[in-house]
């Protein structure tokens, strides 16, 4: 047992905790999704669980942690069969879980969330002062200096994820189960989490770790279990397998679709190296300077070098998007960014850097106090997401659960939500003025509302079917509730929605969050495809390799300012990490 964040509490004795699952089966609505899984978690072991989106990883975790009951099979802890009525019972028994979808309660404070239902008490009275101190210590160790009395709902997704992690590691427990804990974290934050996890391992905690970032698995885990379509493919010592073998096991016959497994392996190896360099960077006092380098992939309409201040140059058309001197509260200062038609630019930055806020400003979720956003040369006020849409700006939110999916709607409804089925045309990218663009957006809405229902239904069905096929969205029926989909498949659905909007400008936050290796490539090529059609694209990601894969140039944001602008050809992950850290 371990207790992170406090000293002097006695750990109950007894044998080292071991969790063993045998023959676990689970069906939903008559469809079996787990076909008898055996898995064993040893004390002091970090055991990775990998598999495609929808393979059954979260379902397995839900069975181990009392969120779901198995149809067959059983779970033993320390040799005794256990059955949990609910997650809290599992937590009390020493199984701590970080769920895939954030489970923090937005209206509660940081300290209330960290201890939810497990507050330290004396004779039933909660010792809040101690709780506060432990919450602050644990979060600090994870790299977050948080006010314990702040409402969690007011924090960004990555911060919320850290609160979720703190909640899992603050108490006493023998088993720690993590379902994609790092999907909103960047390399440095991941390294910090790893340090905590390694210490827990040294204390004898058994760790089950789910991640789609295979480099994390090979960096952290002792053993790896691969599941595919609800079947266990293998459990192996990390030292006895390699990334190629794991990818092939995950994808089975589909592994030929990942065109170059070796290339994927190389990228992952590079990323491990970058993470290590980032983690071991010390005493680096050199202040990175803002670099002015030429853009990488020059768009058809001609390239811009940085912020444009009204000089038309050789361009006939003004750029799709220009941000000039944009300020927002104390979170964004003097942001200058230009994106041309068909260009992809990347945003890098650590937690709280302003990366998220910049995306929010682009899509009407955050007020711009000073400076100008120009769309195709026309200064534009985007006060709410609806206005952004009317101007052809579509944003994919990083917060899938609260801002992305509509839980009460089915998969198809979620995907075709903003689809202009009546015309099937792209949002007004070529329109000459804002007024025209806004009008065209409204007209589309009116057409949508006014009927043409039959035509629309058919178009929507076709649109949905094609994006389901091209992105490989795994759902049993189009009218299945979106919440029944696996995390990665929900993400694909959100991406499909963005795609069907046919936008002029796409703002993508963490576009491949929780998506498996195969589908990641699909999303990358879809993004390339949009760029090819002339869409201006802003990608914000915690994964630097993702930015390097997609973007012609990468803007690094720190403390709300752009501190570097690096062309892809000249960028290295290590250097970008340095700019991010400052």
Q: Which residues sit at the interface with ligand ATP, rule CB under 6 A?
A: 28-29, 33, 51, 53-59, 100, 474, 484-489, 514
Least distance from C-beta 54 to ligand ATP, angstroms?
A: 4
**Positions in 314-333 near Mg ion (CB under 5 A):** none
Shortest spacing between CB 24 and ligand ATP, in angstroms: 12
Dist. CA 133–CA 136, nearest whole Å: 5
For the bound state, the minimum distance from the C-beta of residue 34 to ligand ATP, rounded and expressed in Å, comes to 8
First to last CA, the chain: 38
Nearer to Mg ion, 487 or 534 (CB): 487
Contact code string over 480-499 relative to Mg ion, x by CB under 5 A: ------xx------------
* Beta pairing partners, 3: 172
Following DSSP, what letter does each residue of 252-265 receive, concatenated? GGGGGGSS-HHHHH
Q: What is the nearest approach in angstroms of ligand ATP to the Cβ of residue 247? A: 14
Residue with smaller CB distance to Mg ion, 100 or 182: 100
Closest residue to ligand ATP, Cβ-based?
A: 488
- Which residue has tokens 């944009």? 326
| Token pair for 284 | 């680096």
Q: Which of residues 230 and 503 has its CB atom nearest to ligand ATP in the complex?
A: 230
Min CB(487)–ligand ATP separation in Å: 3
Pairing relation of β-strands 72-77 and 19-28? Answer: antiparallel
Comparison of 434 and 486: residue with beta carbon closer to ligand ATP: 486
Percentages helix, strand, coil for the chain (3-state, rounded to 5) are 40, 20, 40
100 binds Mg ion (CB under 5 A): yes
Task: Compute the least distance from the CB of residue 484 to ligand ATP, in Å.
Answer: 3
Pick what 54 binds: ligand ATP, Mg ion, none; C-beta below 5 to 8 Å, kind-dependent: ligand ATP
Instruction: Classify residue 372 as exposed, middle or buried by CB count within 10 Å of its CB (0-12, 13-18, 19+).
Output: middle
**Which residue's CB atom is positioned nearest to Mg ion?**
58
Can residue 441 be called a binding residue for Mg ion (CB under 5 A)? no
Q: Give the one entry of ligand ATP, Mg ion, none that residue 438 binds, where binding means its C-beta sits below a cut-off of 5 to 8 angstroms depending on kind.
A: none
Q: Which is nearer to Mg ion, 100 or 501 (CB)?
A: 100
Question: Looking at beta carbons only, is 55 or 550 nearer to ligand ATP?
Answer: 55
Query: Tokens for 54?
Result: 């929808």
**Which residues, at least 6 apart from 122, have a Cβ–Cβ distance to it below 8 Å?**
none
Q: Where in 44-63 is the site for Mg ion (CB under 5 A)?
A: 58
Which residues, 6+ apart, have CB-to-CB distance to 188 below 8 Å?
143, 278, 279, 350, 577, 580, 581
Cα 530 to Cα 363: distance, rounded to the nearest angstrom: 18
Q: Which stretch binds Mg ion (CB under 5 A): 70-78, 97-105, 276-284, 316-324?
A: 97-105
Least separation in angstroms between CB 210 and ligand ATP = 7
Tell me if residue 224 falls in helix, strand or coil.
strand
Q: Are 401 and 431 in contact (CB under 8 A)?
A: no
Residue 30, contacted partner among ligand ATP, Mg ion, none, CB below 5-8 A by kind: none
DSSP assignment string, 57-110: HHHHHHHHTTSS--SEEEEEETTEEE--SSHHHHHHTTEEEE-SS----TTSBH
CB of 400 to Mg ion, least distance (A): 12
Burial class (CB in 10 A: 0-12, 13-18, 19+), 439: middle
Place of tokens 């944003």: 395
Q: Which residues bind Mg ion (CB under 5 A)?
A: 58, 100, 486-487
């Amino acid at each position: 047992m371990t207790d992170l964040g406090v000293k002097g509490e006695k750990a109950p004795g007894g044998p080292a905790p071991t969790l063993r699952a045998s023959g676990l089966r689970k069906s939903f609505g008559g469809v079996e999704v787990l076909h008898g899984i055996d898995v064993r978690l040893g004390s002091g072991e970090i055991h990775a669980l990998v598999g495609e989106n929808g393979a059954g990883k979260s379902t397995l975790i839900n069975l181990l942690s009392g969120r779901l009951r198995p149809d067959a099979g059983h779970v033993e802890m320390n040799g005794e069969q256990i059955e949990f009525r609910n997650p809290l019972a599992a937590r009390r028994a020493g199984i701590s879980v970080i769920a895939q979808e954030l489970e923090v309660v937005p209206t509660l404070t940081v300290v209330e969330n960290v201890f939810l239902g497990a507050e330290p008490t004396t004779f039933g009275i909660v010792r809040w002062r101690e709780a506060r101190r432990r919450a602050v210590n644990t979060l600090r160790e994870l790299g977050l200096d948080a006010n314990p009395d702040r409402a969690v709902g007011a924090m960004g997704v990555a911060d919320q994820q850290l609160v979720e992690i703190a909640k899992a590691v603050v108490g006493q427990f023998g088993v720690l189960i993590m379902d994609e804990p790092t999907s909103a974290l960047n390399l440095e934050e991941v390294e910090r989490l790893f340090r905590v996890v390694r210490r827990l391992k040294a204390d004898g905690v058994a760790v089950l770790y789910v991640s789609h970032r295979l480099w994390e698995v090979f960096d952290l885990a002792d053993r790896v279990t691969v599941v595919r379509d609800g079947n266990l493919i293998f459990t192996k010592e990390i030292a006895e397998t390699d990334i190629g073998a794991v990818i092939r096991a995950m994808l089975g016959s589909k592994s030929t679709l990942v065109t170059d497994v070796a290339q994927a392996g190389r990228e992952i190896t590079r990323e491990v190296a970058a993470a290590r360099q980032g983690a071991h960077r010390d005493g680096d006092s050199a202040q990175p300077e803002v670099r002015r380098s030429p853009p990488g992939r020059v768009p058809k309409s001609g390239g811009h070098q940085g912020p444009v201040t009204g000089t038309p140059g050789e361009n006939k058309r003004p750029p799709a998007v220009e941000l000039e001197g944009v300020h927002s509260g104390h979170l964004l200062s003097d942001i200058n960014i230009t994106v041309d038609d068909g260009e992809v630019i990347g945003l890098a930055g650590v937690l709280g850097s302003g990366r998220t806020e910049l995306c929010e400003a682009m899509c009407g979720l955050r007020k711009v106090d000073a400076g100008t956003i120009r769309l195709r040369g026309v200064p534009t006020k985007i006060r709410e997401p609806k206005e952004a849409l009317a101007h052809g700006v579509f944003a994919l939110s990083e917060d899938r659960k609260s801002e992305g999916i509509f839980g009460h709607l089915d998969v198809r409804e979620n995907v075709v939500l903003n689809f202009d089925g009546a015309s099937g045309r792209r949002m007004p990218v070529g329109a000459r003025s804002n007024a025209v663009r806004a009008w065209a957006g409204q007209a589309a809405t009116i057409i949508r509302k006014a009927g043409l229902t039959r035509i629309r239904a058919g178009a929507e069905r076709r649109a949905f079917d094609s994006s389901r096929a091209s992105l490989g969205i795994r759902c049993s029926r189009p009218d299945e509730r979106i919440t029944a989909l696996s995390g990665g498949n929900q993400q694909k659905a959100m991406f499909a929605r963005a795609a069907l909007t046919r936008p002029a400008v796409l703002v993508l936050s963490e576009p491949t969050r929780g998506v498996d290796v195969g589908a990641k490539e699909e999303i990358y090529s879809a993004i390339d495809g949009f760029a090819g059609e002339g869409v201006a694209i802003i990608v914000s990601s915690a994964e630097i390799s993702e930015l390097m894969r997609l973007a012609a140039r990468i803007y690094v944001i720190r403390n709300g300012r752009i501190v570097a602008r690096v062309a892809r050809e000249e960028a290295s992950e290590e250097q970008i990490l340095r700019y991010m850290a400052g």
